[in-house]
Amino acid sequence: MAITRRPEIADPEGATVKKALTDLGYNEVRTVRFDRSIILDLEENDATRARDRAVEMCNRLLVNPVLEEYTVEVET
């Protein structure tokens, strides 16, 4: 699942790293954004069930809706 920080929320990591890159002379960098992805290895053959469970995990624990949005992908 891919987790992105909501655009309206400040992103200190991104800001700091952008500055560092600029200091290193990478002036072409306009913005830097950090995303997180969580890879779960599930013991579950049914893809739809796997997705549902994963979505549930995101809502309950893995994602904080105040800060983040997410998308879930299932590989079988």
Query: Which residues sit at the interface with a second copy, rule CB under 8 A?
Result: 2, 17, 20-21, 24, 26-44, 53, 57, 60-62
Helix (H, G, I), strand (E, B) or coil at 56: helix
Please report, as residue ranges, which positions from 16 to 45 form the binding site for another protein (by CB under 8 A).
16-17, 19-20, 23-24
19 binds, among another protein, a second copy, none (CB under 5 to 8 A by kind): another protein
CB of 59 to another protein, least distance (A): 12
Alpha-carbon distance of 19 to 27, in angstroms, equals 10
Q: Which residues contact 4 (CB under 8 A, 6 or more apart)?
A: 33, 35, 68, 69, 70
